[in-house]
Amino acid sequence: MTYRVLADLVLLVHALFIAFAVFGGFLALWKPRLAWLHLPALAWGATVIALGWICPLTPLENALRLMAGQESYSGGFIEHYLLLAIYPPGLTRAMQIALAVLLVAGNFIVYAILFYRRKN
């Protein structure tokens, strides 16, 4: 039971991290000091997506699930839990790279607004 709870906790932290990497720029508009936490999270998230890496939290969750007697899964967190919701069927490497670029570009716009606000 303990390993299952830990695996679920890792899953929750992973989901929150992804949400922060994607939407944290909007939090930085509200509290600019959060930019120092968000920018490294954004860089990590975009790098993992663009290079097709698997986040270290995925193998940790899988190991905890195996110790709990549950099944693990192959691939990464997003492929397992969010693939159909976020990525369309037939996703290619070029599309993954484009998504990473969109993630960074969208946040660039948010940070440009933040910079403009601070300047004025």
pLDDT of residue 44: 95
Q: What is the pTM of this model?
A: 0.76
Counting residues of the chain whose pLDDT is more than 90, the rounded percentage is 41
- Give the pLDDT band of residue 54 (cuts 50, 70, 90): confident
Cβ(85)–Cβ(79) below 8 Å: no
pLDDT level of residue 21 (50, 70, 90 thresholds): very high
Task: List pLDDT tens digits, range 62-95.
Answer: 899 889 888 766 666 555 565 555 556 777 888 8
